[in-house]
Amino acid sequence: MITATTATAANASKPLHILARWLLLGEWRAHPVRALVAIAAIALGVALGYAVNLINDAAFNEFSAATRSLSGQSDLQVRGVQAWLDEGLYPQLAQWPGVAVASPVLELNVTVPSQQSALKVLGIDVFRASLIAPDLVGVPAPERPFDTLADDAIFLSAAAQEWLQVKPGEQLTLRNGTGTVALRVAGGLTGARVGQRLGVMDIGAAQWRFDRSIGKLSRIDLKLLPGVNREAFTEKLRQQLPANVQVSESQDQDSRNNNMSRAYRINLNVLALVALFTGAFLVFSTQALSVIRRRSQFALLRVMGLRRSQLLRQVLLEGALLGCLGALSGLALGYGLAAAALHFLGGDLGGGYFHGVQASINFDWPAALVFFALGSGIAVLGSLAPAFEAAKAQPAAALKSGSEESALVRLATPWPALGCLLLGALLTQLPPLFNLPVFGYLAVALLLIGGITLMPRLAALAFSALQRFSLGRRTGIVRTLVLARLANVPGQASIALGGVLSSFSLIVAMAIMVSSFRISVDDWMQQLLSADLYVRSAGNGETGAMRPAEQRLLTTMPGVAHTDFLRTSPLALDPARPPVILIARGIDAADPARSLPIIGPLLPQAAVTAAVAANELPVWISEAMVDLYHYRLGQHLMLPLGGRSYPAVVAGVWRDYARQTGAIQLRLADYQRLSGDNEVSDAALSVQRGVDPATVIAAMRKLPFGTALEFSQPGEIRALTLKIFDRSFAITYLLEIVAIVIGLFGVAATFSAQTLARAREFGMLRHVGVTCRQILFMLALEGSLLTALGMAVGFLLGWVISLILVFIVNPQSFHWTMDLHMPWLGLAIVALLLLVFAGATALLAGLRAVSIDVLQAVREDW
């Protein structure tokens, strides 16, 4: 009995499979271009998202692995809050109970003449380092085994040798102050990772050759004895060490790397998914039009016994197959894009976080499965509304001609759309989650969904009002027909508007955001670059600096009216975060806005005077310090300087686009007095009236140290900064182009499908005397009006989304603010292109429709 029942069920299901395959293949054969456009939209979204994910993961993992390789097998690292650590702490830690090996390390970013990047040089104790990080020990020539201890020898990784164009046995010139240090390349580093630019030398030789680091260390690596409880040991060590010393574990370094670039990586992934989000509406448009066109076919199948659940599965299957094909194509395309980007552009995508590594691409199966699920899942979501409509339609009503608009009546309900818009507005008021603008992203998605869902009601109101306005006026038969159709079938109009609205609103939002950021950066640079000439002792690294005697020579040069000097140094306030930058420069405490881009109120002058009288340092913090460390105006804190901590008060907040990890500025005189560091790296020169800066530059080049100086004028710095900005946002520009392409594809597919579905309508119009030319003009006008409405609403929606990006997403991601600026010309050009293309697409689609024989076009209805 059971066997017979099973056989009957199998025989009954076989015709259903045949029917499903027949419906699917028949639809795709009839409209292959529409299916291909939907697949291409999903593929582009998946490809961009997967490529960005692969590039980011490859570069980040390689960078983290290269960083971990510098500490070898150490369990803990002891560092100073400032860049340097007194080497007197090393013998104490070497004899500390529970410590098996202590290895001192001097880490320098050495200035390389005629190069844009610095060379990382590690000074190590070769005997201690061989027990913790043997990969850092150089490989000398067999005939010179003691080169690892020589005071003139340096060992370079393969990537560093290739970059610097030197080989073992040759001389390498590096910068120390305004002078040079000549070192002999004694061999290579076999343990360095591919692409890692690294040099290693004896720690004593490094301290002597770069004499500013005599008696100082960067860190001390510790390897604990077996059986020692790391957590308990770390806690006890932290309690007994001075307050200006930090103890960190290897995972702290990973956390520091992650925090440094996390916001940039996540924002790129979200922007890449914009194309996929737009593709979802294109799938919805494709499926909705397909269901409307086959409404009578589905009704006939229902009459013949096909159940609602079977019809629902059929439409969802069609959408899922579109998504699966698009996702698979996107994964392959994304892998190719990632491989090409890593080969030609490197792994930082313009962000500048992962210099000095050579990442390689690997197919990431977990990420591939996630993006495959996203691509296919979002296609299924786009098919849900058409599938439910096809399943719920009453067969008797659906069999009647002209019932297409009733299939979309549910789309005209405004309440779900208004609910999405309201919820999106509420989410904008929530704080960041895990230091990321999660609710901001959700708000953008809800606003897009709400805006697109509201389009049927907006289309009905707009075109009905336009129709009423045209009544009684001599508008012509074609315009009358166009307005009548658009006013009476808003559901079908909204399908055409979905792709236009989503793509154009995202284009507007990203264009406004990028333009606002770019102009704000330009304004910020103009405020900072108030001098006539800028002089640097080194464009890279930290070993190039000007001593007091050299500073006096610059100040007394003929033609120089005033000189401001600047000194920067890192400050590690949190082991899990990248160091903040301490900037010492000439600041007038009575009027700091003359030299700093201050935002918000300042500490009253009376309070600043009282703080100085109480031996407190006035400091000015960047916006990132407010978000990351919760500093506030007027807050009292302890600032580490020169191995001690000094009381300070926050006197103001300034805007900083150069350092998203935080920066603190103080007066140069205070810094030099308390730290004992009298060297500077930068000088801002104001020349006397009527003096050409080129004359001053020529005179400075004749100084004894003139060949070590780099000169820039404000215009050159601004141009270089904006060039770097454009390179950093190249991926954003690419995403805008992709959004435009997807939007244009959507317009083409939608108008083509609607035009072909209206062949009977055009046949009737031709029967009553409307010419082919008038029908084509009607279609072009209809496409232009629909696109114009979509762009108008898309502009409004994009402007609202841009406010979220500018005032919520960017401050919560990168911890800086910007002013709003509108790129009117660029938006007008894009809008004009979309408008022209929409009219042309409708016109081209109409050529095929009017080419059908009149009798054939109306035969099905009469």
d(CA 845, CA 496) in angstroms, rounded, equals 14
Backbone φ and ψ for 302, nearest 5 degrees, come out as: -65, -40
The pLDDT of residue 5 is: 39
First to last CA, the chain: 52
Backbone φ and ψ for 723, nearest 5 degrees, come out as: -65, -45
- Amino acid 143 reads E
Residue 576: pLDDT over 90: no
pLDDT > 70 in the chain, percent: 81
Please state, in angstroms and as integers, the Cα–Cα distance from residue 471 to each residue in 461, 483, 631, 777, 782, following that order: 16, 10, 64, 20, 18
Residue 728: pLDDT over 80: no
Handedness of CA 219, 220, 224, 228 (dihedral sign): negative
Nearest CA to 440 out of 811, 736, 797 is that of 811
Give the chain's length. Answer: 862
Nearest CA to 854 out of 769, 781, 782 is that of 769
Confidence of residue 14 (pLDDT cuts 50, 70, 90): low
Most confident of 381-385, 404-408, 749-753, 786-790: 786-790
Most confident of 286-300, 302-316, 387-401: 302-316
Q: Which tokens hold the place of 574?
A: 């949190």
Asked whether the beta carbons of 71 and 92 are under 8 A apart, the reply is no
Asked whether the beta carbons of 322 and 35 are under 8 A apart, the reply is yes
Asked whether the beta carbons of 64 and 250 are under 8 A apart, the reply is no
Minimum mean pLDDT among 300-314, 618-632, 646-660, 754-768: which range?
754-768
Most confident of 30-44, 252-266, 276-290, 711-725: 711-725
Confidence of residue 42 (pLDDT cuts 50, 70, 90): confident
Q: Which tokens hold the place of 710?
A: 């780099």
Q: Which tokens hold the place of 317?
A: 């299957």
pLDDT per residue as tens digits for the range 331-347: 999 898 888 877 776 66
Angle formed at CA 788 by CA 786 and CA 794, multiple of 5 degrees: 100
Nearest CA to 67 out of 192, 190, 233 is that of 192
Whether the predicted model's global pTM rises above the 0.85 cut:
no
> Pairing relation of β-strands 560-571 and 580-585?
antiparallel
- Longest alpha-carbon distance in the chain: 110
Q: Can you spell out the DSSP letters for 802-815? A: HHHIIIIIHHHHHS
Angle formed at CA 179 by CA 175 and CA 181, multiple of 5 degrees: 55
